[in-house]
Structure 1
């Protein structure tokens, strides 16, 4: 019996030692932000929030500084301690909050001093340290309307599919379930709520106001729980459709696979690491595309890690980990469907998802431009122009 245990341990350890990390692709949500939308009776106008609506808070910047430090520690053997252009590419959606998150993250990933430590107390004080080590590192972006990669582009086909979704029996059942709560919200916000997605706008704002203890007096802990439930359900059901998550998650998966091909074929254009700074919808879309989504809203400064390994037989494998808590370093390994274990062979990964990848996104986004019957949703997940 003891001999068997030893053999198993040796096999397991040998497997671990035989594999080598050769690349990573990291998809990150921006840090804490101010509300993107104000309901009619909101007691806090846009001037209440520093820099206005939809902007990264100081805490949000510091969350990414510490997340950058975690990435530095995690990939210390993969990436040079100083920035090397041929090793890494940083991509962001064209929003202030994602661009600022990217630059803040790079403060932690590539500090200009070896002895840099950010006191934990700063993460809660919402006060920017007077001096942080910084060096200029490029962050790439494209205009929102054409940014299919980060799931914020103008896409007529996507809007059309969302319109169909909002009329579906799936969403109607949710509307019926929350009807009394919608009536309650309408009374206190003076806003008509046609469906759960309009309630989502209100939920997003109040949940942030609660962080700063400036939510209206009628927002009790019980109300907050229901608002959180609405937010979580909207993310899940929005991307449940294969046709929707294909448009929103597919382009980024294709970009990852393209770079993996360059890494595995020693193409000089390949990068050991690609960091993508996006939104909650960016992460949810990827999880849904991979068929591992669940009812939740990806938290601030959360991230997905696609680690690429070369194994002793020269084959390649991908391991996916999810950092699904703000100010945490505790990732969860995600086993993809139809993979034998968490270390999914690259060939199997491609086999599972390649046919689902979209083609020319400009063509795929064309729609019949059906007449809109529901009010437009303010959340960035739906409207890139706001």
Structure 2
């Protein structure tokens, strides 16, 4: 039996309707990324300071101590390009001021890292190009002064209760057990570095950290190292620096320290994420440019710290999703290796895609309403 034109037309209409229904179902099913928060460490820099017996002076570094290097610029440009790729289809391909907000600590290297990161994230195109020879465009970065309700620079020593907790940490059984294997090494390092052993052991002086950091920076940039700074010595210094970071924000009374340190940043992030669910709008991303101790304080507060120093341009990611049920979930990732995808991080007590309300409930013990009062306890 031959098919009439009307039959063919009806069949075509039926197929078209099926395709339309399928497309509509696809568009309303699944989950959608609705907001993202990124916190990254600045890029490679010169040492913060030298140690008494150090071989090299500040004048040997092009911009002096604590400054972003050209390698650090390259690292953050790469991270900016990665962010652009990861969020293509979410962020607009061109810079739109209402979509993204960038904050930085009031330190040269974090401000400059944010600048070069944005150069990789939003290279100017078409009408954005104001000079064909300079493929860069100015994007605002909001600097957070250290004195302004601190939430990006940690540790915050201007807190009596926290300083008391640090003193207790250094005499606690937990800390003593961890430092005991290194006592002989610390005495040797005191001779090599020119610091006394007590200064190297104390957490709030950062002297040991500066010895390790100076050698690390010098090795990256092919400076001559002292003969005693073997790979084994530098590896042990790295272990002690991790111990120092862990001690500042954990090991002893981690949760109370988190309330006075990293919990401030957790609270700020959670408030921004919650606002994104209550008042959905054009803002899609919040970025913080900060430090290794910022990431350490944040991860220790969340109890997700991996017992490693966050490398240059390491990036902690929070992503807010709206599920097909209408509920919201948070996923966390940590990018500390450019050769692979970011590591997924699960908040203890929750699933990887953690329901927003459960996430808020789990972190509630480290959130404070009156930080000043907590510090005076």
Q: TM-score, normalised by structure 1?
A: 0.81
> Within 2, Cα distance between the matches of 1:160 and 1:31?
33
Q: TM-score, normalised by structure 2?
A: 0.83
Q: Contact 2:330 / 2:355 at 8 angstroms: preserved in 1?
A: yes
Q: Which protein has the larger Cα radius of gyration, Structure 1 or Structure 2?
A: 2
Q: Contact 2:94 / 2:125 at 8 angstroms: preserved in 1?
A: no
Aligned to 2:353: 343
Alignment gaps of 5+ in structure 1: 1-13, 115-130, 368-386
Aligned to 2:168: 164
Aligned to 2:219: 210
Match of 1:188 among 177, 188, 192: 192
Correspondence 1:295-314 to 2 at 5 A? 295-314=307-326
> How many residue pairs are counted as aligned between the two chains?
334
> Within 2, Cα distance between the matches of 1:250 and 1:227?
28
Aligned to 1:332: 343
> Within 2, Cα distance between the matches of 1:139 and 1:311?
32
> Within 2, Cα distance between the matches of 1:66 and 1:311?
31
Q: Contact 2:37 / 2:269 at 8 angstroms: preserved in 1?
A: yes
> Within 2, Cα distance between the matches of 1:253 and 1:271?
19
Aligned to 2:180: 176
Aligned to 1:146: 148
Alignment gaps of 5+ in structure 2: 1-25, 127-132
Residues 1:248 and 2:261 aligned together: yes
Residues 1:357 and 2:367 aligned together: yes
SS at match of 2:144: coil
Runs of 4+ in structure 1 off by over 4 angstroms are: none
> Within 1, Cα distance between the matches of 2:322 and 2:311?
31
SS at match of 1:141: strand
> Within 2, Cα distance between the matches of 1:221 and 1:132?
42
- Cα distance, 1:17 vs. partner? 6.3
SS at match of 1:40: coil
Q: Contact 2:255 / 2:365 at 8 angstroms: preserved in 1?
A: no
Aligned to 1:377: none
- Cα distance, 1:43 vs. partner? 0.6
Mean Cα displacement is larger for which, 103-112 or 48-57?
A: 48-57
Alignment RMSD: 2.1
Structure with the bigger percentage of helix: 2
